[in-house]
């Protein structure tokens, strides 16, 4: 506890970087996964390829992905971009299936009703299908958020500073305090991100609360 109080500024700055490294891939992943999921949901041939293919990305250990990124991207080995892009890959891997699940869960009757009302193509997707898929997508996003927070810390093995640096520093000196503080800070970050996603989901899906209240 005293260690934590003595190092508030350090923990705070590492926490900020950690949050940045976890959240940016989450948003990028979401932006990429929605069109991919839309494609997979509509196309019978692409669906298994995209869902299984992106799922396979998960069998790549994160450490390997971090290390190999510079070879693929031509970035420097200490570039935080390696972490951001590796985590974006994971987020996409997780969210494509969720987006497909979410879009598939939109009742056919709703879709037909929208078509009957003359709402076509892109407009139907953005105003009817995607909003109705939000609860399922949001559940996947929550898992991705928590998993990103955990995976970011592994980048400390490569000298990219964030909360995981407290783990490597504490370990090298046989000193539990920084490690425990780092774990707690990760947990706090996970909880905050989770609450944020839940909050945004509520705002985006007012009918869910209305229905459960009724």
Partner 1 sequence: MKTIRTLAVGAAAAFALTACASTNPMASPSTSASKSSTIVVGSANFPESELLADIYAGALKAKGVTVTTKVNIGTRETYVPALKNGEINVIPEYTGAFALYLNKAAVVTDGATSLASLKAALPETLIALDPSKAEDKDSVAVTAATAAQYNLKSIGDLAPVASQLVLGGPPEWATRANGVQGLKTVYGLTFKEFKPLDTAGPLTVTALKNGQVQAANLFTTDPSIKASGFVVLDDPKNLFGAQNVIPVVTKSLATPTVTAALNAVSVKLDTDSLATLVTKVVVDKQDASKVADEWLKAQGLA
Partner 2 sequence: MNLVWAWLADPAHWQGTGGIPARIAEHLLYSALVLVLAAAVAVPLGLWIGHTGRGRVVVVNVVNGMRSVPTLGLLYVSVLVLAPRLRGDWAFLTPAIIVLFLLAMPPILAGAYAGVAEVDPGVRDAARGMGMSGLEVLWGVEIPCALPLIFSGLRSATLQVIATATVAASVSVGGLGRFLIDGLAARDYGQMAGGALLIGLVALAVDGVFALVQRVAVSPGLRPARPLKTHEAIPAS
Out of 31, 49, 68, 195, the only residue in the binding site for partner 2 (CB under 8 A) is 68
Q: Does 29 bind partner 2 (CB under 8 A)?
A: no
Q: Does 38 bind partner 2 (CB under 8 A)?
A: no
Partner interacting with residue 24 (select from partner 2, partner 1, none; CB below 5-8 Å by kind): partner 1
Sequence-separated contacts (24+) of 126-135 with Cβ below 8 Å: 129/103, 130/34, 130/103, 131/204, 131/205, 132/102, 132/105, 132/106, 133/99, 133/102, 133/103, 133/105, 133/106, 134/102, 134/201, 134/204, 134/205, 135/102, 135/201, 135/205, 135/208
Q: Does 94 bind partner 2 (CB under 8 A)?
A: yes
Q: Does 111 bind partner 1 (CB under 8 A)?
A: no
- Cα–Cα dist 144/33, whole Å: 12
Taking CB under 8 A as the binding criterion, the range among 15-23, 132-140, 145-153, 198-206 that sits at the site for partner 1 is 15-23
Partner interacting with residue 78 (select from partner 2, partner 1, none; CB below 5-8 Å by kind): partner 1
Nearest partner of 153 among 93, 99, 92, 83, judged by Cα? 83
Query: Tokens in use for 93?
Result: 């891997």
How big is the site for partner 2, counted in residues (CB under 8 A)? 52
Helix axes 8-42, 80-104, angle to 10 degrees: 40
Q: Does 72 bind partner 1 (CB under 8 A)?
A: yes
Q: Does 57 bind partner 1 (CB under 8 A)?
A: yes
Q: Does 183 bind partner 2 (CB under 8 A)?
A: yes
Would you say how long the chain is, in residues?
Answer: 214
Taking CB under 8 A as the binding criterion, the range among 7-15, 78-86, 125-133, 155-163 that sits at the site for partner 2 is 155-163
Q: What is the DSSP letter of 156?
A: G
Q: Which residues bind partner 1 (CB under 8 A)?
A: 3, 7, 16-17, 20, 24-25, 27-28, 31-32, 53-54, 57, 69, 72-73, 75-81, 84-85, 88-89, 92, 156-159, 161, 165, 168-169, 171-175, 177
């Amino acid at each position: 506890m005293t260690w934590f109080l003595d190092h508030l500024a350090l923990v705070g700055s590492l926490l900020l970087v950690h949050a940045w490294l976890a959240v940016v891939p989450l948003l990028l992943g979401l932006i990429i996964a929605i069109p991919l999921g839309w494609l997979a949901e509509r196309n019978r041939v692409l669906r298994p390829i995209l869902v299984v293919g992106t799922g396979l990305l998960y069998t790549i250990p994160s450490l390997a992905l971090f290390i190999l990124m510079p070879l693929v991207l031509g970035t420097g080995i200490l570039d935080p971009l390696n972490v951001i892009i590796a985590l974006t890959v994971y987020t996409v891997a997780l969210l494509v299936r969720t987006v497909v699940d979410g879009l598939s869960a939109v009742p056919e009757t709703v879709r037909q009703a929208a078509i009957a009302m003359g709402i076509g193509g892109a407009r139907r997707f953005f105003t009817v299908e995607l909003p109705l898929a939000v609860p399922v997508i949001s559940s996947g996003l929550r898992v991705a958020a928590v998993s990103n927070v955990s995976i970011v810390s592994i980048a400390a093995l490569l000298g990219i500073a964030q909360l995981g640096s407290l783990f490597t520093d504490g370990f090298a000196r046989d000193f539990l305090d920084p490690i425990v503080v780092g774990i707690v800070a990760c947990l706090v970050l996970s909880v905050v991100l989770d609450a944020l996603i839940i909050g945004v989901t509520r705002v985006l899906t007012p009918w869910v609360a209305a229905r459960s209240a009724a």
